[in-house]
Amino acid sequence: MSKSARFPSVSRTVSVDRSKEIARETDYLDLDQLDLNRTYTLEEFEIISDQLKNRSLEIKVDSELVPISHFELDKSGKLVPMSPTPIFKEVAVVEIYAQIRNWNVQTGQNGAVTCSQGGFLIEMGEVQIPDVAFTPKEIYRNLTDEQGTSFRGPPFSPTFVVELGWLIDPINDEIWVYKRSPANGNVFRCHRDWGDLDGGDTLPGFKLDIRNVKEAISQEPSESDPSESEDENTQHSCPYCSQTFSNGYHLMKHMENDHLRKKRISR
């Protein structure tokens, strides 16, 4: 999924120690006076992110005010403004998230699936917020409280956005697949035909249904759309037990909660 616009800035560095001192003293930064030419600490980044949850912000770019929904933090400590996602793209993001979330639960992966508000300290001082990411349970369950509740502590990466990346443009039916070479670690990109995507070794057994992504945007039901043809008196039987349900939603909830979901082990 294509990320929102990122805006460049020129380099200028201020004292990191002084920045930390300001953050500790105030726990507040004036968002209307943000300087994209300076560097910010992780503490300041957290303060800015918290403030953005409760207010809107516009930044002037090339004499035009551009709405900003959140920031990322690059390797040099510069804020990277991210504009809001148009609704069609956000609908596609949510559909992709839902498919990966369902795979995570129904196959007993028990990892953590995050979407466009889930930030990661990828490297020390660098925070990225991918559209959708998967972190396996082996990494997630070993996070410290500091890592889980802030952008402090040792960096860690969700395996989905590191080992295999998808750039999906559902408006123009374009797909690029990014992979990291096991030989030299370099990332390479290849264009592929519009169609379902296989999760490979990173998301074993997962296949992204592109048709459902497209239909989520268009809201045009397929020929077999059950919401258009289902008889309200139809009874749905669980294939695992003898229970019956009046609609498919309750059947699916029952199957997930009582049969498919593996109970998560306490951390």
| Co-location of 92 and 178 in the same domain | yes
From the CB of residue 229, how many other CB atoms can be counted at a distance below 10 Å? 9
Same-domain status, 209 and 91: yes
Q: Which among 59, 82, 105 is the end of a domain?
A: 82
Q: Which of 127, 120, 197, 124 is nearest to 159 (CA)?
A: 120
Where in the sequence is the domain holding 202, given as residue range(s)?
87-219
C-alpha 216/C-alpha 212 separation (Å) is: 6
Q: How far is CA 37 from CA 14, 142, 204, in A?
A: 9, 36, 42
138 and 190 together in one domain: yes
> Do 176 and 95 lie in a common domain?
yes
The band of 170, judged by pLDDT with boundaries at 50, 70 and 90, is confident
Query: Which CATH number is 118's domain given?
Result: 3.90.1570.10
Please tell me whether residues 116 and 204 are part of one structural domain. Answer: yes
What percentage of residues in the chain have a pLDDT greater than 90?
A: 40
Is 145 a member of any domain?
Answer: yes
Is the model's pLDDT at 227 over the cut of 70? Answer: no
**Average pLDDT for residues 190-208, to the nearest whole number?**
91
Q: Are residues 106 and 152 in the same domain?
A: yes
The pLDDT assigned to 230 comes to 56
Q: What is the mean pLDDT of residues 57-62?
A: 86
Domain boundary among the residues 65, 82, 99 is at 82
Domain assignment present for residue 30? The answer is: yes
For residue 75, being part of any structural domain is answered with: yes
CATH of the domain at 254: 3.30.160
2 falls within a domain: no
Whether 73 and 96 map to the same domain: the answer is no
Helix, strand, coil percentages (3-state) for the chain, rounded to 5, are 30, 20, 45
Residues 71 and 103 in one domain: no
66 plus 50 within the same structural domain? yes
* Residue 236: inside a domain: yes
Q: Is residue 125 part of a domain?
A: yes
Mean pLDDT computed over 195-203: 91
Residue that wins the pLDDT comparison between 16 and 261: 261
Q: What is the per-residue pLDDT for 232? A: 65
Q: Is residue 99 part of a domain?
A: yes
**Same domain assignment for residues 93 and 77:** no
Q: Are residues 102 and 142 in the same domain?
A: yes
Q: Residue 8 — pLDDT band, cuts 50, 70, 90?
A: very low
For residues 69 and 183, state if they share a domain.
no
Look at residues 27, 51, 82 and tell me which one is the last residue of a structural domain: 82
Total of domains in the chain: 3
- Given a cut of 70, whether residue 156 has pLDDT beyond it is yes
Distance (Å) of CA 266 to CA 110, 140, 207, 222, 263: 12, 12, 29, 41, 9
Q: Which residues make Cβ contacts (< 8 Å) with residue 223, sequence separation at least 6?
A: none
**5 located within any domain:** no
